[in-house]
Amino acid sequence: MPPNRVPSSKPVLTRRNMMTTAALDAVPDTRALKRQDWKIISLVGAAHACSHFFQLVFPTLYLSLAHEYGYDFVKLGLLASIFFLVSCIGQASSGFIVDRIGPGQVLRFGLACFVAAGVLIGLSNGYAMLMLAAVLGGAGNSVFHPVDYSIINHRVSPQRLGHAFSTHGLTGNLGWALTPVYMAVFIHLANWRVAAFAAAALVAIVLLFTWLGRALLSGERSEVAVPQAHETASGGPDLARKSVGQTLAALLVQPALWGAFLFFACTSMALSAVQNYTIPMLGDVYGIDKVLAGTALSAYMVAAAIGMAAGGFLVGATAKTELTVAVSLILAGMLLVVLGSGIVPGTFAIALVGLAGFCSGVSAPSRDMLIRRVAPKGATGTVYGLVYSGMDVGSSLAPVSFGLLLDAGIGQGPWYGAASGYVIAAVLAVWIAKTAGRAQVRAGQPA
């Protein structure tokens, strides 16, 4: 490949130009290539942090909005429900747009929606404006998984894909962690309206950087060439050249895609069970007070972020990323079963919560690499959008389902349910890999 030539975001992948693993290892890993990769990873990570940051903007304003307008928690909770409902619908469909017009414009649209939503919240004079802000915020939130993974898969060199996936997950967790502190500071120094404007301003800064770095994200030009080999492994026609209906018809008959959707539904149900019910379960089973139990839950999230960073190194250690996913999720599930059994001392139980978080986090980069294998050519954004919508489905079902277990007197039910979700997801990961491998063999490509 000529040194100044950059492949488009949808390169044609043929047997002749498809690189083997050995060929990938031979690609010169220059200092310029490393700089370019980390610029792209940083921009994508900052944008992903904004997505998670804005998911908690409404919840951090609940008390202020209740005091200002007298809303009850049903009305306040409905704002968050609207946000995630719009996000779920949009995430399943936005991937089609990403694959057809490119990820850069869609990314800036998502960030601009957050800015507009923050301004609307700050200017709001009633519930209608807040609902419109929730719709805009949900629309913005819907684009990030298709956009981010499309950019990572097409613009980051193979040597750093694992680190790109781990950084992506890590920045998302940091976005969650930042929101309560950031909003509380501005509420304390001024008021909730200023806090909403401050949230919009923070996202606007990231929007500016993504616009300045638009060439890196869109692939319009670059100082170094990125190898084509990190295009998706699946063969067949370029689905980006097909209609939406033809693309959807081609994807929905692929078993691995449905397996990936169920994988995300199971893991998100497990995470939701841990997030929503670990605090009361630690109290009921181990007699741990709410403050200490809350600290244990925070430890779970921090440990998960550390696990994501560590998992980035494991992606390059083995080609069988499904084994990393399966082993780490099974270990997380086993730890939750031990917690549910109530046989360990309370202090040790807190440590087990953190260790379970670490194991679940380790699986994330390998999971993203695995999902990459089921994406046909020209449909990377579409596939990530569809399978990641399984997370919204799982997150919406879990709280009610596991709450029913607690109401039925099964005090450890959510932990056991989360463990089951992780184990089922581990089995699905192995099955997805085998199914994708068979599809590659049928297409005449290396498995």
| pLDDT tens string 177-234 | 788 889 989 999 999 999 999 999 999 999 999 999 999 987 543 444 444 434 444 4
Q: Which domain holds residue 269?
A: 249-442
Report in angstroms the alpha-carbon separations of 153 from 41, 69, 145, 164, 217: 11, 46, 12, 9, 11
Over 70: is that where the pLDDT of 351 sits?
Answer: yes
Label residue 92 by pLDDT band (50, 70, 90): confident
End-to-end CA distance of the chain: 25
Residues 279 and 360 both lie in one domain: yes
Coil vs helix vs strand at 275:
helix
Tokens of 97: 């747009």
Residues 325 and 374 both lie in one domain: yes
DSSP H or E segment with residue 420: helix 413-442
- What is the number of other CB atoms lying within 10 angstroms of the CB of residue 224? 17
Which has the minimum average pLDDT: 269-273, 333-337, 443-447?
A: 443-447
- What is the number of other CB atoms lying within 10 angstroms of the CB of residue 105? 15
Residues 296 and 340 both lie in one domain: yes
CA angle 346, 351, 353 (to 5 degrees): 95
Over 60: is that where the pLDDT of 237 sits?
Answer: no
Residues 111 and 201 both lie in one domain: yes
C-beta separation of 425 from 268 below 8 A = no
Q: Does residue 112 lie within any of the structural domains?
A: yes
Q: Does residue 386 lie within any of the structural domains?
A: yes
The residue to which tokens 């981010």 are assigned:
148
Over 80: is that where the pLDDT of 275 sits?
Answer: no
Q: Does residue 46 lie within any of the structural domains?
A: yes
Average pLDDT (399-408) is 77
Over 70: is that where the pLDDT of 27 sits?
Answer: no
Residues 83 and 143 both lie in one domain: yes
Q: Give me the percent of the chain exceeding a pLDDT of 90.
A: 38
Which has the minimum average pLDDT: 112-121, 191-200, 266-275?
A: 266-275
Of 195, 218, 241, which residue is a domain's last? Answer: 218
Average pLDDT (284-290) is 87
Over 60: is that where the pLDDT of 68 sits?
Answer: yes
Of 166, 197, 218, which residue is a domain's last? Answer: 218
Q: What is the CATH number of the domain that holds 88?
A: 1.20.1250.20
Residues 202 and 299 both lie in one domain: no
- Alpha-carbon span 179 to 189, nearest angstrom: 16
Over 50: is that where the pLDDT of 42 sits?
Answer: yes
**pLDDT for position 20:** 37
- Domain count of the chain? 2
Over 90: is that where the pLDDT of 24 sits?
Answer: no
**pLDDT for position 121:** 97
Over 60: is that where the pLDDT of 26 sits?
Answer: no
Q: Does residue 4 lie within any of the structural domains?
A: no
Average pLDDT (102-118) is 95
C-beta separation of 88 from 389 below 8 A = yes
The residue to which tokens 């949009």 are assigned:
90
Q: How many residues does the chain have?
A: 447
Mean pLDDT of the chain: 82
Residues 68 and 200 both lie in one domain: yes
Residues 190 and 336 both lie in one domain: no
HSE-CB of 231 using CA atoms within 13 angstroms:
24
Give residue 269's Cα distance to chain centre: 14
Q: Does residue 415 lie within any of the structural domains?
A: yes
Label residue 431 by pLDDT band (50, 70, 90): very high
Of 168, 198, 218, which residue is a domain's last? Answer: 218
Q: Does residue 241 lie within any of the structural domains?
A: no
Average pLDDT (364-385) is 76
Q: Does residue 12 lie within any of the structural domains?
A: no
DSSP H or E segment with residue 86: helix 73-101
The DSSP call for residue 288 is -
Residues 175 and 118 both lie in one domain: yes
Exposed/middle/buried for residue 289 (C-beta within 10 Å: 0-12, 13-18, 19+):
exposed
Residues 54 and 169 both lie in one domain: yes
Residues 190 and 283 both lie in one domain: no
Q: Does residue 140 lie within any of the structural domains?
A: yes
Q: Which tens digit of pLDDT belongs to each residue from 324-342?
A: 999 999 999 999 999 999 8
DSSP H or E segment with residue 175: helix 161-189
Residues 41 and 100 both lie in one domain: yes
